[in-house]
Amino acid sequence: MRIPMKLKQGDEIRVIAPSRSIKILSEDGIQLAKKRLEQLGLKVTFGKHVEVCDLQSSSSIEQRIEDLHDAFSDKNVKGILTVIGGFNSNELLPYIDYELLKANPKILCGFSDITALANAITAKCNFITYSGPHFSSFQMTGLQDYQTTFFKNCLMNEESYLLQPSAKWSDDLWFLDQENRVYEETKWKIYSKGSTTGTLFGGNLCTLNLLHGTEYIPHLKDCILYVEDDELIIPELFARDLTSLLQVSEGIKGLLIGRFQKVSNMTEEQLHFILDKHPQLQNIPVIYDLDFGHTQPIMTLPIGGTISIDTQDFKLKLNTF
């Protein structure tokens, strides 16, 4: 698995909209996100079609493909951030020039619906992509320090490092009111104990499952899976989707589960009931309520990168990648 060059001071990052349009963001929010990335020493540019906004708050396949190809082919661009998630990045997969991307490996970062695009690129091009903040995520004020720290650790530093829990988390509509947030104490939890090292694959569970039966899903053999889901999920749907993913995986060495949103009604009792059904999860490390997914803040994770897990001292170590 090839490793894209890490970002450094002065590098240009391109913001593209392979899912929903930047038009759904406020102008103030756009400028705030841009300013925060510039404070990291990065130069921010935008794809030509990011402001196109159709009936489903997106743009045509042709326009999104053009911006994706332009970002990868532009030698000045060192990293690519997605505007936000949505529902339709998988529409792009048959039309991507994967040979172009192979010849120009670079950082691609986003989460949620971007799971389909990122995993497809990793599978077809054999280089690491990243599950982490969107461009829009940098609008957030509260909890931004944690998000930015692990964004930098993963995308701007060469050294291995330990993933650590945030001090607090939130499931509120922060983008509507940045000043009045509701926070809760973070606690990562262990379902089953163990230690292992392996290649990390995953993302938004229902989106990843869209790739089943296609040429765009990574080879999920002896890997460590990480999964999360959004406000549309309920325990029964998560159970079905997890079962489907486990059935296409040729053995897994560990499972990491992101924190659920409250509206999902996923209680600890429900989650344990779901996990108890699968014998393969009883003898590998399984950790849940981790800081990734659709609550805030989120860490950045490498799709196709290497992670070590040790539940004895609660260590999650990302190796140099």
Strand partners, 316: 163, 309
Catalytic residue from among 89, 134, 264, 294: 294
Which DSSP string corresponds to 16-67? E-SSS-GGGS-HHHHHHHHHHHHHTT-EEEE-TTTT---TTSS--HHHHHHH
Catalytic residue from among 59, 112, 137, 264: 112
Classify residue 15 as exposed, middle or buried by CB count within 10 Å of its CB (0-12, 13-18, 19+).
buried
Q: Cα separations (Å) of 282 from 190, 234, 247, 250?
A: 11, 23, 16, 16
Q: Is 19 an active-site residue?
A: no
Catalytic residue from among 21, 131, 166, 228: 228
In angstroms, rounded to a whole number, what is the distance separating the alpha carbons of residues 321 and 108?
Answer: 14
Write down the residue that tokens 């997106």 correspond to: 58
Q: Is 112 an active-site residue?
A: yes
In angstroms, rounded to a whole number, what is the distance separating the alpha carbons of residues 80 and 288?
Answer: 29
Q: Is 228 an active-site residue?
A: yes
Catalogue the active-site residues.
112, 228, 294
